[in-house]
Amino acid sequence: MSDHLMQTYARQPIAFTHGEGAWLVAEDGQRYLDALAGIAVNGLGHAHPRLTRALCEQAGRLIHTSNLYEIREQSELADRLCALAGMDRAFFCNSGAEANEAAIKLARLYGHSKGIDTPAIIVMEKSFHGRTLATLTATGNRKVQAGFEPLVQGFLRVPFDDVSAVEQVAAHNKSVVAILVEPIQGEGGVHVPNPGYLRELRRICDQHGWLLMLDEVQTGIARTGQWFAFQHSDIQPDVLSLAKGLGSGVPVGALLARGVAAEMFTPGKHGTTFGGNPLACRAALTTLEVMASDHLLARATALGERIKDGLRTALSGVVGVRDIRGQGLMIGIELDRPCADLVASARDQEQLIINVTADSVIRLLPPLILSDAEADVLVERLARLIRAFLA
Ligand SMILES: *Cc1c(COP(=O)(O)O)cnc(C)c1O
């Protein structure tokens, strides 16, 4: 690896030359089953023929113009996403952090529009919202923040999945304008809240005139078996941030908003050079098309159940497995001890690509194009590894 790369990542000593579906091929020719999909990015797996064709065709025609002009692909994507999510308007950017940064700016504009000079946003413990200054401040992880003080003002933190904590803030703080929350916490350890949680947050937001802002950067784009995770509950957010799975690896993020929230950004208030360019939008449009035509939402649900059931059977009675949880193809296996070493042993012993988050939670985010047979291979390899690790 080059000495000229900044040391931002503790990289694994492996590089891949190409991929095919749910498989990655390393420089030495070894094939690996990809149960991480670039951290919930490659929903269509690798080298999907329809995506490849669409990107080549678009690249041969037009990659970038500028947001100084109308962009047909961007308009089409806005229409499509708003129809799928029940939202009114979209802003396109290039990453999850940028989508959340836009959400934070939007919430502040909303506050000021109501005469609140120091608007505050409620955020959660163990949350993850990105690495820009505002989004790392919103993130509920001291490790992400340490060394970057002074942090950004205007955030209030409460425990995740705790409605009464939010109600207490509501009773005492008149400057709150929004709640920013992940429907399922990803980086924090694949935490699925109680069934009524989002509905309660929606009720509190309605009662106080706050915006309900959902960070679906990880949970969105069919990952949990619905287009967006909030669609498992009977609610509608005011603001929705998307990125990871949206472009199948071509960088694209989006902020969707509804009602009054959709009218906050007026010319000059926000922008980006690359955001929503024709290539990125073509990637997103094709991703959505393939997911719909190939019924990948239903597949995510079925595969998630298959993998969780398989792991529960294979690991039943194994001491040290605390919990197997998740929704669709966002799955966490919590062990009773730190298990970051499993990433290397999965790779080297089982040719399996996984991730460990929050020290002791194995995180699976496989591509949605996985076959049943591949899901069974995943379960077999992972269960063997966990048993050996805990023995
Ligand atoms: C990954 C992630 C982000 C940050 O996205 P980037 O594209 O890395 O900036 C924000 N929120 C959630 C929930 C994420 O999982």
Specify the ligand 1 atom closest to the Cα of 182: 13
Is 269 catalytic? The answer is no
Q: How far is the CA of 29 from the centre of ligand 1 (A)?
A: 31
Q: Which pLDDT does position 39 carry in this prediction?
A: 98
Task: Decide whether any atom of ligand 1 lies within 6 Å of the 245 Cβ.
Answer: no
Check if 287 has its Cβ closer than 6 Å to any atom of ligand 1.
Answer: no
User: Which ligand 1 atom sits closest to the C-alpha of 243?
Assistant: 7
pLDDT one-digit tens code per residue, 23-33: 999 999 999 99
> Residue 217's pLDDT is what?
98
| Pocket lining: 186 vs ligand 1, CB cutoff 6 Å | yes
Residue 351, pLDDT score: 98
Cβ contact 277:250 at 8 Å: no
Give yes or no for residue 94 CB within 6 A of ligand 1: no
The closest-lying atom of ligand 1 relative to the alpha carbon of residue 253 is 7
- For the chain, where do the domains classified as CATH 3.90.1150.10 start and end? 16-34+295-390
The average confidence (pLDDT) of the chain is: 98
Which residues are CB-neighbours of 384 under 8 A, at least 6 positions away?
350
* Average pLDDT over every residue of 102-127: 98
Ligand 1 binding pocket includes 140 (Cβ within 6 Å): no
pLDDT-based confidence at residue 147 (cuts at 50, 70, 90): very high
d(CA 292, CA 310): 26
Instruction: State the span(s) of the chain assigned CATH 3.40.640.10.
Output: 52-293
* pLDDT score for 227: 98
Distance 304 CA to ligand 1 centre (A): 22
- Under a CB-based contact definition with an 8 Å cutoff, are residues 64 and 389 in contact? no
Mean pLDDT of 313-326: 97
Domain 52-293: give its CATH architecture.
3-Layer(aba) Sandwich (3.40)
Ligand 1: distance of its center to the CA of 40 in Å? 10
Confidence of residue 15 (pLDDT cuts 50, 70, 90): very high
% residues pLDDT > 70 (the chain): 100
Query: Does 128 participate in catalysis according to the annotation?
Result: yes
CATH 3.90.1150.10 describes domain 16-34+295-390: yes
Q: Quote the pTM value.
A: 0.98
Q: How far apart (Å, rounded) are the C-alpha atoms in residues 304 and 239?
A: 27
Pocket lining: 226 vs ligand 1, CB cutoff 6 Å? no
What pLDDT does residue 328 have? 98
Mean pLDDT of 326-337: 98
pLDDT on residue 110:
98
**Region label for 249, one of left (φ > 0), alpha (ψ between -120 and 50) or beta (otherwise):** left
Give the pLDDT confidence score for residue 197 in this predicted structure: 98
The two tokens of residue 246 are 């949206």
Ligand 1 center to residue 391 CA distance, Å? 35
pLDDT reported for residue 259:
98
Q: Is any atom of ligand 1 closer than 6 Å to the C-beta of 215? A: yes
Token pair recorded at residue 9? 């990542």
Active-site residue, from 34, 91, 92, 215: 215
CA distances from 205 to 210, 231, 257, 293 (A): 4, 18, 15, 36
Catalytic residue status for 376? no
Q: How confident is the model at residue 307 (pLDDT cuts 50, 70, 90)?
A: very high
Q: What is the per-residue pLDDT across 233-289, written as a single tens digit (0 to 9) for each?
A: 999 999 999 999 999 999 999 999 999 999 999 999 999 999 999 999 999 999 999
